[in-house]
Amino acid sequence: MNFKNWTYLQRRIINWMAKIVLFLFTFLALLPLIMILFYVLRQGGNVLSWSFLTTLPGPTGSTGGMANSIVGSLVMVALASIVGIPLGIVSGVYLSEYGVGKTANILRFSLDLLTCVPSIIVGIFVYGIVVIRYGFSAYAGAFSLALIMLPIVARSSEEIFKLMPGHIREAGLALGLSRWRVILQILLPGCRKAVLTAIMLAVARIFGETAPLLFTALGNQFYARSLSQPTASMSVQIFNWARSGFADLEQQAWAGSFVLVTLILFMNLATRFLGRVRS
């Protein structure tokens, strides 16, 4: 038989072209990310300095920074995580391990709804039930972030626990472990890395939220003296700078954006790294 005929050549050419097309489309998908990073860096790069990270924001004409909003963001994300992560994991475990019946279905449905609620609505909701009574505060900001985080953590941990094969649970039960011991001593350690990845993704997600914080933490030109005061956050600070109308402040907004994007990018990279390391 003749293996080197025309059709074979044709097939190779088509194959090769398909590869190029696929590569082009992949590049096209990556392009926005590259452009964002590039553009943001070009616009704000020349104000980016160590002092930008360590000083408070100032009025137009002065060299201000975003130290207070970095701290504020970290504090509020940490607070939200303290509440949102355990609650999310517990709900996820509940849904995966006991999730049959009406209660579970209602919970699952509510979590799905909560995921779909636009973050600005979460902000307004927290404004309505917390801020009106107690004023703008880091607590209120953290609360709104926790609400956004909770369904993400819950549903992803549910999926992670469901991935654990049933016979592993049965092996635990057959050994005389009670259900909660199986969850705590066997499933949780087994899922540790995947759960950690899910948590990191959720944290990265709330780091960049602006809308809920506008209505809850408000923002602050200085360091907040306590958690019950209006608190600056990176995204709100960027928002404020951007709409100030002053060219130099707008440039600071670009620099702030670059810091925020870089932080989130590193968080994602760290997650990937954690997910890859296996004893």
Partner 1 sequence: MGVEEAQKNPVLRTDELQAYFGPFHAVKGVSVSIFPNQVIAVIGPSGCGKSTFIRCLNRLHEETPGAKVKGQVWLEGKDIYGKGVDPVLIRRRVGMVFQKPNPFPALSIFDNVAIGPKLMGLRRRALLEEKVEQSLKQAALWNEVKDKLNKLGTSLSGGQQQRLCIARALAINPPVILMDEPTSALDPISTARIEELVQELKNRVTVIMVTHNMQQASRISDKTGFFLLGSMIEYGDTVQVFTKPRDSRTEQYITGRFG
Binding site for partner 1 (CB under 8 A): 100, 164-165, 167-168, 170-178, 181, 185-186, 189-190, 192, 279
CA distance 65 to 204: 22
In the complex, what is the shortest distance from the CB of residue 200 to partner 1, in angstroms, rounded to a whole number? 18
Amino acid (one-letter) located at 70 = I
Nearer to partner 1, 17 or 171 (CB): 171
In the complex, what is the shortest distance from the CB of residue 24 to partner 1, in angstroms, rounded to a whole number? 41
Nearest to 55 by CA among 44, 45, 68, 72: 68
Nearest to 62 by CA among 52, 50, 72: 52
- C-alpha gyration radius of the chain: 24
In the complex, what is the shortest distance from the CB of residue 176 to partner 1, in angstroms, rounded to a whole number? 3
Nearer to partner 1, 67 or 274 (CB): 274
The pair of structure tokens assigned to 87 is 């609650």
In the complex, what is the shortest distance from the CB of residue 170 to partner 1, in angstroms, rounded to a whole number? 6
The pair of structure tokens assigned to 165 is 């094969």
Nearer to partner 1, 33 or 171 (CB): 171
CA distance 158 to 198: 11
CB within 8 Å of 189: residues ≥ 6 apart = none
CA distance 270 to 260: 15
Q: Measure CA 267 to chain center.
A: 9
In the complex, what is the shortest distance from the CB of residue 269 to partner 1, in angstroms, rounded to a whole number? 24
In the complex, what is the shortest distance from the CB of residue 97 to partner 1, in angstroms, rounded to a whole number? 11
In the complex, what is the shortest distance from the CB of residue 272 to partner 1, in angstroms, rounded to a whole number? 20
Nearer to partner 1, 192 or 243 (CB): 192
Nearer to partner 1, 15 or 279 (CB): 279
Residue 205: other Cβ atoms inside 10 A: 16
Nearer to partner 1, 187 or 206 (CB): 187
The pair of structure tokens assigned to 244 is 């100030």
CA distance 272 to 101: 35
Nearer to partner 1, 102 or 167 (CB): 167
CB within 8 Å of 81: residues ≥ 6 apart = 146, 149, 199, 203
